[in-house]
Amino acid sequence: MTDRPLANFDLEKAIALRWALRDIAAKRLKLTPLNEDDLQTLIELGFVEMRDGAPVVTPSGLAALE
């Protein structure tokens, strides 16, 4: 389970969350705004945290992308 942290979600949601993580990591939020539900889910999972009002991928989030 730890090697597939998004496995608890249906395929469509898991794909959306991975893309959201990638967009945050690449700082593409102006081009592709985040879905608020996806952002909240990523925060609850500990993959993203808010710093100075902007989402930042945590080390756990980076590991989930590998």
- pTM value is 0.87
Instruction: Walk along the chain (66 residues) and give the pLDDT tens digit of each residue.
Output: 456 788 889 999 999 999 999 999 999 988 888 999 999 999 999 999 999 999 999 999 999 988
The predicted structure's pLDDT at residue 1: 44
Distance between CA atoms of residues 6 and 31, nearest Å? 24
The predicted structure's pLDDT at residue 47: 96
Distance between CA atoms of residues 6 and 12, nearest Å? 11
Residue type, 8: N
Q: Is 58 helix (H, G, I), strand (E, B) or coil?
A: coil
β strands within 9-53, DSSP E: 48-51
